[in-house]
C-alpha cells in the first residue's frame, strides 16, 4: 500500500514537472508563406520552419493556409502518418502519407528521419487524399517522399520543436484518371500541438 | 562604374568652369589658402549580410510574402573633419587634404510577428541541432579616422553665392573602436553573446576607403568666412567588408562646412 502511494506521488511529480516545461512562442507555429517565383502559387522550398507546404495536383496548387495547422504527425505503433492539411482553390484537402516502420516516441526523435528517401510504392506505405468529404486511397504508379532535413530547433538554448523539410512527387489515379502530384515541398514545425503518439 | 561616374563629374565640372571663365573676369590672386571645418551625416545604403541568418529576412523583391513580421537594417554615419585647401582662383579650383573622423552605427531591428518585439537569429547549425536566439536588435559601431583628398571646382559664382562640385577620396587604416552588440529578448542569453558573435562572423576589413562626389553651394564674401552646404551624389566604398552586419552598396548624405581664409 505504501509503495503504491509512493508511486502515485512520483507519477504526480513527473506530470507536474513535465507540464512546467517552457512552452514555445506561438510565433514559431505561425505560417510564413513566401511564394516561389519559379512555381507560382507554391511556397518556396525552405528549411526555416515556415510551416508551409505546397504541391501541384495536375496544375492546381494545393497549399497550406494561415487558418489550419498545416501538418500533423500521428504515430501508431509502427506507422508514422504525416497529414498535410490545406486547400486547393476553396476546397479543403488532406494528403496523408502512411509510412510503415517509423515510430518516433517524441517529436525530437523525428531526427531519425533526417536525409531519407521513401519509395511510396514500397509495401506497407500508403497515401490517401481527401478532397472535400471524399477520401481516396491512392494507388501509386511511381513516386517518392524525400525528407531532406530534420532539425531539432533550440530557442535561447532550449529545445522547442523539430523542423522537418522535404520534397515529394508521385503519380497516381484520381477518379480513374492518371494524375501527377508534383513539385511538392514542405517546411514544417513539429511541436507539442501537432505530434501525437498513442 | 565607380570611377567613370566620378570622372564624368569632373569633366562636367571642368566644362562648366571654362564656360564660367568667359562670364567672370576677376583679377584675383592666383593662390588662396583656407581651413575648412566640416560636419555631416552619411547614410550608406545596402542590405543585411547573408551570413546574418534571420528567420523572415526576405531580401528578394521577386517573391510575395504572407507574414506580419518585418526586419529593418539602418546604417548612418556622422562626420567631423578639418581640411586645408589651396584654391587657384584663376581656374576656380581648389585642392585640399586633411583629417576626418567618421562614426558609423548600424542597427538591425524588427519583429517576427505583430505581437512580438523580437526576431529569431540563427547562430548555430551542428548536426541535426539548429539554434536560434530571440533578439531585439543587433548593433554595430565603427569609428574611422581617415585622410581625405579632394578637388573642388566652383564653376559659377554670383555675388556672394557660389555653386561648386567636389570629388574626393578618403583612406583609413584606423578603426578606433569597432563594436558589435546583441540585445537579447531573454537576458540570460547575454552570457552567450561572444560565442554567438563568433559563430555569425563579425570580422571587418581593417582598411576603409571611399570615393565620393558632392554638389553644393557656398555663401560668403571674398577673404571672409564662407559657409558651404553640399549633398553627396551616390558615392562608393572602395573597400569591402567595412561593416560586419550589413552589406553596403553606396552612400548618400549631406555636409555643412565653414571655410576660414588664411592670410598670406
Please write the tens of the pLDDT for every residue from B3-37. Answer: 444 444 444 444 444 444 444 455 556 888 999 99
What's the pLDDT at A146?
Answer: 97
- Model confidence at B2, in pLDDT bands (50, 70, 90)? very low
Cβ of A114 and B120 within 8 Å?
A: no
- The whole model's pTM is what? 0.79
Q: In the prediction, which pLDDT does B23 show?
A: 45
Residue B187 backbone phi and psi in degrees, to 5: -65, -20
Mean pLDDT highest for which of B12-26, B74-88, B105-119? B74-88
**Has residue B175 got a pLDDT over 50?**
yes
Mean pLDDT across B200-218: 90
Average pLDDT over residues B71-100: 93
Cell triple for residue A94?
A: 488532406
- Of the candidates A37, A154, A156, the beta carbon closest to that of B63 is on A37
Dist. CA B77–CA B210, nearest whole Å: 13
- Using a pLDDT cut of 90, give the percent of chain B over it: 56
Contact flag A27-B115 (C-beta cutoff 8 Å): yes
- A interface with B, Cβ–Cβ < 8 A, is 25-28, 30-37, 44, 48-49, 66, 111, 114, 150-157, 163
- When CB atoms are compared, the residue of A34, A151, A155 closest to B65 is A34
Residue A123 DSSP SS3: coil
Of B58, B129, B134, the CB nearest to A34: B58
DSSP string, chain B: -HHHHHHHHHHHHHHHHHHHHHH------SEEEEEEEEEEEEEEEEEE-TTSEETT----TTS-EE-S-EEEEEEEEEEEEEEEEEEETTTTEEEEEEEEEEEEEEEEEEESSTT-S-EEEEEEEETTEEEEEEEEEEEEEEEEEEEEEEEEEEEEEETTEEEEEEEEEEEEEEEEEEEEEEEESSGGGGGGHHHHHHHH-----S-EEEEEEEEEEEE--TTS-EEEEEEEPSBEESSS---SSEEEEEEEEEEEEEEEEE--
pLDDT at B19: 43
Instruction: Give chain A's residues under pLDDT 70.
Output: 1-26
Q: Which of B112, B113, B129 sits opposite A152 (nearest CB)?
A: B129
pLDDT above 90: residue B55: no
* Residues within 8 A of A (CB atoms), B 147-166 only: none
Q: Which residues of B touch A155 (CB under 8 A)?
A: 120, 131-134
Each residue's pLDDT tens digit, B62-77: 556 676 677 888 999 9
Sequence-distant (≥ 6) Cβ neighbours of residue A128 within 8 angstroms: A94, A95, A96, A98, A135, A136, A137, A138
pLDDT, residue B62, reads: 53
Residue A108 — φ and ψ, nearest 5°? Answer: -70, -20
CATH of A27-197, one of 2.40.128, 2.60.40, 2.40.30, 1.10.287: 2.40.128
**What is the grid cell recorded at B156?**
559659377
Who wins on pLDDT, B113 or B243?
B243
Amino acid at each position: 500500500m505504501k509503495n503504491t502511494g509512493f508511486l502515485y506521488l512520483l507519477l504526480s511529480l513527473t506530470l507536474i514537472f513535465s507540464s512546467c516545461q517552457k512552452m514555445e512562442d506561438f510565433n514559431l507555429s505561425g505560417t510564413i508563406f513566401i511564394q516561389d517565383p519559379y512555381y507560382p502559387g507554391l511556397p518556396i522550398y525552405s528549411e526555416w520552419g515556415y510551416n508551409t507546404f505546397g504541391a501541384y495536383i495536375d496544375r492546381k496548387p494545393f497549399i497550406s493556409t494561415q487558418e489550419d495547422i498545416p501538418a500533423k504527425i500521428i504515430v501508431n505503433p509502427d506507422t508514422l502518418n504525416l497529414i498535410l492539411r490545406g486547400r486547393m482553390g476553396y476546397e479543403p484537402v488532406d494528403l496523408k502519407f502512411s509510412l510503415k516502420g517509423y515510430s518516433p516516441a517524441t517529436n525530437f526523435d523525428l531526427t531519425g528521419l533526417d536525409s531519407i528517401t521513401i519509395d511510396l510504392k514500397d509495401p506497407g506505405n500508403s497515401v490517401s487524399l481527401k478532397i472535400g468529404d471524399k477520401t481516396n486511397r491512392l494507388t501509386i504508379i511511381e513516386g517518392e517522399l524525400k525528407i531532406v532535413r530534420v532539425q531539432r530547433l533550440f530557442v535561447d538554448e532550449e529545445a522547442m520543436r523539430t523542423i522537418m523539410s522535404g520534397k515529394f512527387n508521385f503519380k497516381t489515379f484520381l477518379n480513374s484518371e492518371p494524375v501527377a502530384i508534383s513539385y511538392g515541398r514542405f517546411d514544417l514545425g513539429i511541436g507539442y500541438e501537432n505530434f501525437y503518439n498513442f | 562604374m565607380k570611377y567613370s561616374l566620378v570622372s564624368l563629374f569632373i569633366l562636367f565640372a571642368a566644362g562648366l568652369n571654362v564656360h564660367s571663365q568667359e562670364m567672370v573676369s576677376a583679377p584675383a590672386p592666383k593662390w588662396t589658402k583656407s581651413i575648412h571645418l566640416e560636419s555631416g551625416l552619411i547614410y550608406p545604403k545596402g542590405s543585411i549580410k547573408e551570413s546574418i541568418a534571420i528567420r523572415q529576412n526576405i531580401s528578394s523583391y521577386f517573391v510575395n510574402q504572407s507574414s506580419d513580421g518585418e526586419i529593418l537594417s539602418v546604417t548612418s554615419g556622422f562626420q567631423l573633419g578639418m581640411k586645408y585647401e589651396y584654391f587657384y582662383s584663376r581656374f576656380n579650383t581648389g585642392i585640399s587634404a586633411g583629417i576626418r573622423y567618421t562614426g558609423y552605427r548600424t542597427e538591425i531591428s524588427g519583429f517576427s510577428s505583430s505581437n512580438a518585439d523580437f526576431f529569431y537569429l540563427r547562430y548555430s547549425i551542428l548536426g541535426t541541432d539548429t539554434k536560434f536566439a530571440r533578439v531585439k536588435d543587433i548593433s554595430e559601431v565603427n569609428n574611422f579616422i581617415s585622410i581625405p583628398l579632394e578637388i573642388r571646382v566652383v564653376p559659377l559664382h554670383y555675388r556672394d553665392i557660389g555653386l561648386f562640385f567636389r570629388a574626393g577620396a578618403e583612406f583609413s587604416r584606423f578603426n578606433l573602436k569597432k563594436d558589435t552588440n546583441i540585445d537579447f529578448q531573454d537576458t540570460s542569453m547575454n552570457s552567450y553573446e561572444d560565442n554567438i558573435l563568433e559563430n555569425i562572423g563579425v570580422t571587418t576589413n581593417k582598411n576603409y576607403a571611399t570615393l565620393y562626389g558632392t554638389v553644393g553651394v557656398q555663401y560668403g564674401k571674398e577673404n571672409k568666412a564662407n559657409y558651404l552646404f553640399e549633398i553627396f551624389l551616390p558615392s562608393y566604398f572602395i573597400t569591402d567588408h567595412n561593416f560586419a552586419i550589413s552589406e553596403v552598396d553606396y552612400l548618400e548624405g549631406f555636409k555643412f562646412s565653414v571655410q576660414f581664409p588664411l592670410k598670406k
